[in-house]
Amino acid sequence: MLTQFLSGDPNAAAHVLQLAVALIIGITVHEFSHAWIADRAGDPTPRAMGRVTFNPLAHLDLFGTLALLFVGFGWGKPVPVNRVYFRRPRRDDICVSLAGIIANLITATAFALPVRFGFAGDYADTFRVIVHLNLILAFFNLIPIFPLDGSHVLSNLLPVQQARKLGEFYSRYGFILLLLLVTLGRPVLTILVSLPVGLLSALLLGLPGGLGL
């Protein structure tokens, strides 16, 4: 993608720009929602770190942004959270973890409506990319592998002893499992991400068969 962009391919350039806009919107609403819910739950850390804001610069990660140009997908800076401040740590941690996912689903729906009802105009293609990327962020983050949000949800739903053992396992092998999933786990990603993204995008946008990955 980056090679095509640098060669002056107008289609590649347009697609990179659309992905950049979608990435900025998707990551900003995702990370802001984590920070805002953590702040509401009593943790002063996100606000002290300047993360309770819609300013994209507070949430974008340099390498995640560069990855967008090279592989077409990126990530943001995780919001620092200290569970010690939560009034109900396990419940609040689940709420914080799900907040980003729910925010991406709401954002996808908001940008799909103008496309679905025909008043997106010249922005329809960009809106479709925003919808698609936000759905990918939502379903990908639901996967229960550390450091994805789904791992926090799973850990807090387990009995304390089992959650502790799972945390120890994640601390040793979480990033390795995630790397293996991203590089070698295409069939798993198809089931957990591609299929629900395709089905929901079809529902939201009115596209037969959805968009797929």
Q: Which residues have a catalytic role annotated?
A: 31
Residue entry with tokens 């936000």: 134
Tokens 């060669």, located at residue:
7
Tokens of 94: 């689940």
The Cα–Cα gap between 74 and 212 comes to 18
Q: Tokens for 117, please give them.
A: 């009802």
Residues in Cβ contact with 96 at an 8 Å cutoff, skipping those fewer than 6 apart? 34, 37, 38, 41, 81, 152
Q: Residues 81, 34: contact at Cβ < 8 Å? A: yes
User: Which of helix, strand or coil describes residue 100?
Assistant: helix
Q: How far apart are CA 184 and CA 8, in angstroms?
A: 32
Q: Go through 159-179 and write b for each residue having 16 or more CB atoms within 10 A of its CB, e for each that does not.
A: eeeeeeebbeebeeebeebbe
Burial of 11 (0-12, 13-18, 19+ CB in 10 A): exposed
76 forms beta bridges with: 60
